[in-house]
Amino acid sequence: MRRPRRRRTPSRHISISATDADWEVVRRNAERCGLSIARYLVDLVERDGSQEDASPTLAISADGQRELQEAVREIRALMLEGQDAGPLVRDMQERIAVMFNAWAWAMAGSGRRGELRAALERVVGEERAGIAMASIAPGPVRGPKAPRSGGGETDTGQGRLF
C-alpha cells in the first residue's frame, strides 16, 4: 500500500498581479509544460538568471546579417555607377519588414506586448510605437506571410508598420 504523498510547504510566498490575458498565457504555458504555475514561473526565473552572462540574442541570424550586408554593398556599387538600385532597395525593405513582423507578432502572441512596446519606444519614440502597436492585433499568433508579386510591386500582405 502506498503512503500518501506529503505536500511540501513553500518557505516563501509572493503575490503576482497580472491582467486576465497575461495570467491566461502563464496558465496555458505552465499547463503545456506539465508544471504548476508556481513551478513554471520559478523555472523561468532560474533560466533567466542562468543566462545573465550570456550575450544577447541576435535579432537577425549571422547568415541574415551577411545577406543584408552584401545587399547594401550591391546597392552602393550600383549607386556609384549611376545605375538604378531601386529594385534591390525594395527587396531589402521587404526582407526587413518580414523579419520585423515575425518578431513583433511572436512577442505580441506570447503575451509580451509591454516588452514589445518598450522596445519600439526606445527605437522610434512613443508616438510611432503607439501606431505600430495599433497595427499588431491582439489574439492568436499569425505567422508572417511570404511576399507575393503582382503588377510590378511586391506585397507582403502584412501592412506597413512604419
Report if residue 97 sits inside a domain. Answer: yes
pLDDT of residue 93: 87
Within the chain, residue ranges assigned H as helices are 20-33, 37-50, 62-80, 86-109, 113-124, 126-134
Does residue 2 sit within a domain? no
Q: Which residue has the higher pLDDT, 35 or 50?
A: 35
The answer to whether residue 67 scores a pLDDT higher than 50 is yes
Mean predicted confidence (pLDDT) in 47-62: 60
82 vs 76: CA distance, rounded Å: 10
Say if 6 falls within a structural domain: no
Residues 6+ apart with CB under 8 A from 112: none
Same domain (yes/no): 88, 124: yes
Say if residue 27 is in the same domain as residue 89.
no
Residue type present at position 103: W
Look at residue 15 and tell me if it is in a domain.
Answer: no
Name the more confident of 141 and 17: 17
51 falls within a domain? no
State whether 25 and 99 are in the same domain. no
Taking all residues of the chain, what is their mean pLDDT, rounded to a whole number? 77
The answer to whether residue 162 is domain-embedded is no
Q: Cα(43)–Cα(36) distance, rounded to whole angstroms?
A: 10
Number of structural domains in the chain: 2
Please say if the pLDDT value at position 54 is more than 70. Answer: no
**pLDDT band (50, 70, 90) for residue 99:** confident
| Same structural domain, 146 and 121 | yes
Mean of the pLDDT values across residues 64-92? 87
Mean pLDDT value of segment 110-131: 87
Q: Same domain, yes or no, for 66 and 121?
A: yes
68 and 148 inside one domain: yes
**Per this entry, what is the length of the chain?**
162
Task: Identify whether residues 109 and 38 lie together within a single domain.
Answer: no
Question: Is 79 inside any structural domain?
Answer: yes
Its pTM stands at: 0.45
Q: Is 11 a domain residue? A: no
Do both 32 and 92 map to the same domain? Answer: no
140/80 same-domain check: yes
Range of the domain at 132: 62-155
Q: Are residues 33 and 93 located together in one domain of the fold?
A: no
